[in-house]
Amino acid sequence: DALDPERLIQCPLVKHHRIRARRFPYHLVKCKESNPEIAKKLATCPFNARHLVPQADLSDHIMKCNDKAFMEQDVVSRSCEPLQEQLNNGSTWQAPPCDEDWET
């Protein structure tokens, strides 16, 4: 199951590292620091920071990345909303009335 936080994922930097999905983002940070020479050769996917691919393969990965569909779907659904509705989806918080008079 792709959403299982306990599933094991292979590290893209060191192939014999197998990390639980819930710890994977933390592992990537540490592993990049521990292996800077390997990390320099990898590029990060613009759709999912957990995808590290060889720099030469990045454009191919971008074309095939499964997470690209989620991003495109979000962009399309937002562009279909009327502009005023998009603006209304912002914060509706208003400051409460103030009874203090600093001049007195």
- Tens place of pLDDT for every residue, the chain, 104 residues? 778 999 999 999 999 999 999 999 999 999 999 999 999 999 999 999 899 999 999 999 999 998 887 766 666 666 655 655 656 666 677 777 777 777 77
| Beta carbons of 27 and 17 less than 8 angstroms apart | yes
CA distance linking residue 37 with residue 19, whole number of Å: 21
pLDDT at site 76? 61
Q: How far apart are CA 12 and CA 48, in angstroms?
A: 13
Extract the tokens encoding 76: 């399309």
What's the pLDDT at 57?
96
**What are the structure tokens assigned to 78, written together?**
């937002």
Nearest to 21 by CA among 40, 35, 7, 42: 7
What's the pLDDT score for residue 66? 87
Q: What is the pLDDT of residue 88?
A: 63
pLDDT, position 82: 60
What pLDDT is recorded for position 24? 95
- Angle, alpha carbons 82-86-90 (nearest 5°): 160
